[in-house]
Chains A and B, each alone.
Chain A
């Protein structure tokens, strides 16, 4: 029914009233004329006599509304009295509802917080994001995108050049300010206790804070003068980082710290609550764009010219300028600069252009990843609410059937059916509103708990804050009313449709067979529905638990126990590549000397740390254009023995191998290969050999680097296999192990792996001490054990498995309660029948079997439907499953057995009660 139809009766009423008043006036005019007045006078007198037409109408409307409110209030009081008479029933229903509604409110408020995140700026409606689009990608020197705006592929993003953001700023007739930023800056911060690495730093323009209207909590924010070539390097701390890393020191302003070894002055702390403009990460600190040459080791001046796109530009519109107007003006400028500049980035055929998008809509970076698990959760809690509804509907049904006599009496006494339905519904609404209110409290609490969640172990705290805003309140209110209708309507309508004569005649509740049958089939259907939903929940949970166990039991090919890994990034502390090998060698020896350490090694990235490095190779005898892909990992000395990856044939890397690698790395990247240099020694895994070099002995075999862009370029010295090791997992737990090639590590940041005799976490402080004593600018980051890394890899799976298991248990309990309620009711209805059966010779066992059979039949029906339904639902899960199929028979059978056992218990209690029926009492009952 649409809103229009809903109000149609009211509008019809109003028109009818007009007509009625008109009729009255005309009659009065006739009467006045008959009494001898002139027509005009008659009309005038009639109007005077009638008084204010509008006032009359208002009073009538008032009467109607007062009456409706009166009736509602009356119903509410009546329902409330009835509910208070059965406190157990009421509290069970309210608590069930509170759990269902509370969970839904919690998940919704999280989704709400992500979707409707307010832009942290003053007057955010004036902010627009500048994005470009074209037919093809531009010819750029470098290009970085951070996913801050969701684009339509590579030809439409918000990464632009630094000069372009200055061009936008110079359009002062269109804009009154620009806030440009480039996230994902990782720095090594030292000079404040032990050095730390943070990847939550951001380059911003000098007018970033003033354009957004963000104030300083302490000191000052950036000024345009801080963002110029010769300005002293300064930084702004976020409020949260100031509290966590600087202990909220009041004298922090003016302090000097080192970023990547370069001294920076802290000039201020941003206002409380400001975590950055884009939502994905809560930031720690901001530095001006002009400090980039100081912080980035590989910086070239071209990084700041028009052909390097890495800056996100947000502009504040001048009032009175329309978005289309500004967009057209900027597009013209953009075309001119990119097509006609000294180095054209586009041709005219590319049709480059600029779009201005409201910043709040456009800056959605990271929201999609965050929302996906939340949507899965929303479905799960929706399922729980549905089961709760079915359950309560069953309870209400039993209750209204028990009240059929009362209703029948009231109907014969002339009560309108509409009124009775509205009274029964009012009962549901009251229950639901109480459940909703309690659920709101519960939901607040659950949502706050979930703030402790992290999107992964690496990210900071959840950047979104759920609020109890109007949308959440409206959501809770509407699901409360919706559930009230869902569980209240069927019993209410059912109570009317029954033939009430038998209920009256029988004088008791035992023999109204027809009414009972009808009620019964609905009650049965509700129980079957609950069992079905519970089966779906159980099967999904079973599959996820299975998946988690399979993942954790995967053969890794190395020994992850008691291994601590951590990254060292000397490149951020100002080390030159040539110095790094010496540093690593020294650290390796010092770590190995710590008590409890059995072995120490390092590699470019840790095993199973969520990284994947691959390279192309060219195999001998293949066409020059044909390359093959292999995983690729630079490793330090003793890697294989330390990680316990078995050496199958050949040997480990020797010091000479590391020297060859260091020599190769020291050559300039653009320099032509030296054909006289020795080939790079590599160690490969068994799969690599099986796939690329099947044959007796792979050691000594030779292959080349795969260069796709120019197949005729001279080959580099290539690679030579010196050893073969067992297959070990490198990037993830799920996929097939890839062919892998290990090379000697040189001149890059690395991750150490320290194996110890007991819990490696105890080594952390000793290791920090070693590093600090070696160089106070060096920071440890990503300190984590291998076992924790593996836990992180299955983070989502574990979360889904845990949540779906608890929901499945909840669903099972609800379904059980539903079965129990229905059977208990059946037994009490059939007391007389059972009494007769027993009087004519039925045994206790027969009665027991009768009741249990009924319950088990329902469970079986639900199990069959649920199993079929779970095939469909688990297909949705297929992408998350590992080592188990959607229709896994073990899971299905286990779930079915579990369910039958549990429903047996639910049947047993009422069945026992049935056997206790005393035939004499039962027959006298009537």
Chain B
């Protein structure tokens, strides 16, 4: 297992939004996907995942719904709302500007 990196709150929100942009998913699925896609570098602690989901839900960026999971168990599926999609675009733009700016600074040396 590669070494893990702690996520800043804002970053976790962005990752969750991005993950949900692919389609509705339950909490466990979200954490697994982030772990897989990041090749085990990003481990989302459950202690921060669910509060983050609650926060995003409060802001109306994601919505939640009970439905049946793969093997017929009830699970809470989260999906992106209209304003969540807008928020994701906004944050992606900001992230790109930020990382480009950081890259510029770092490359200079």
Contact = CB atoms under 8 A, between A and B. Distances in A.
Interface of A: 16-17, 19-21, 23-24, 26-28, 31, 49-52, 55-56, 59-60, 62-64, 67, 414, 416
A16, A50, A52, A60 — which one has the most chain B CB atoms within 10 A of its CB? A60
A19 B74 contact: yes
Interface of B: 26-28, 32, 45-47, 50-51, 54-55, 58-60, 66, 69, 73-76, 82-83
Contacts of A67: 55, 58-59
A17 B27 CA distance: 11
27 contacts: A16-B66, A20-B50, A20-B76, A21-B50, A23-B28, A23-B69, A23-B73, A23-B75, A24-B27, A26-B73, A27-B28, A28-B28, A49-B46, A51-B47, A55-B47, A56-B51, A59-B51, A60-B50, A60-B54, A62-B51, A63-B51, A63-B54, A63-B55, A64-B54, A64-B58, A67-B58, A67-B59
A50 B46 contact: yes
B26 A23 contact: yes
Contacts of B60: 416
B27 A20 contact: yes
Contacts of A52: 47
B24 to A, nearest CB: 14
A451 to B, nearest CB: 51
A59 B76 contact: no
A50 B76 CA distance: 17
Given A56-B46, A63-B51, A414 B58 contact: no
Nearest to B76: A20
What are the 6 A-B residue pairs with the smallest beta carbon separation, nearest first?
A67-B58, A27-B28, A59-B51, A51-B47, A60-B54, A63-B54
Given A20-B76, A24-B28, A56-B51, 19 more contacts: A19-B76, A23-B69, A23-B73, A23-B74, A23-B76, A24-B46, A26-B73, A27-B28, A49-B46, A50-B46, A50-B47, A59-B47, A59-B50, A62-B51, A63-B55, A64-B54, A64-B58, A67-B58, A67-B59
Contacts of A56: 46-47, 50-51
B23 to A, nearest CB: 18
Nearest to B69: A23
Nearest to B29: A27
Contacts of A51: 45-47
Contacts of A59: 47, 50-51
Nearest to B48: A59
A30 to B, nearest CB: 9
Contacts of B76: 16, 19-20, 23
Contacts of A63: 51, 54-55, 58
A416 B83 CA distance: 12
Nearest to A24: B28
Nearest to B45: A51
A12 to B, nearest CB: 11
Contacts of A27: 28
Nearest to A57: B50
B28 A60 contact: no
A235 B56 CA distance: 77
Contacts of B28: 23-24, 27-28
B77 to A, nearest CB: 11
Contacts of B45: 51
A28 to B, nearest CB: 7
Contacts of B26: 20, 23
A55 to B, nearest CB: 6
A414 B51 contact: no
A17, A21, A23, A27 — which one has the most chain B CB atoms within 10 A of its CB? A27
A17 B50 CA distance: 9
Contacts of B82: 414
A561 to B, nearest CB: 79
A126 B59 CA distance: 56
A380 to B, nearest CB: 47
A31 B32 CA distance: 10
Contacts of A28: 28
Nearest to B83: A414
A31 B66 CA distance: 22
Nearest to B75: A23
Nearest to A67: B58
Contacts of B47: 50-52, 55-56, 59
A59 B58 CA distance: 14
Contacts of B51: 56, 59-60, 62-63
Nearest to A20: B76
A49 B46 CA distance: 8
A384 to B, nearest CB: 42
A27 B31 CA distance: 11
A64 B58 CA distance: 7
A412 to B, nearest CB: 13
A882 B76 CA distance: 74
A414 B27 CA distance: 27
A62 B51 CA distance: 9
Nearest to B43: A49
A51 B31 CA distance: 14
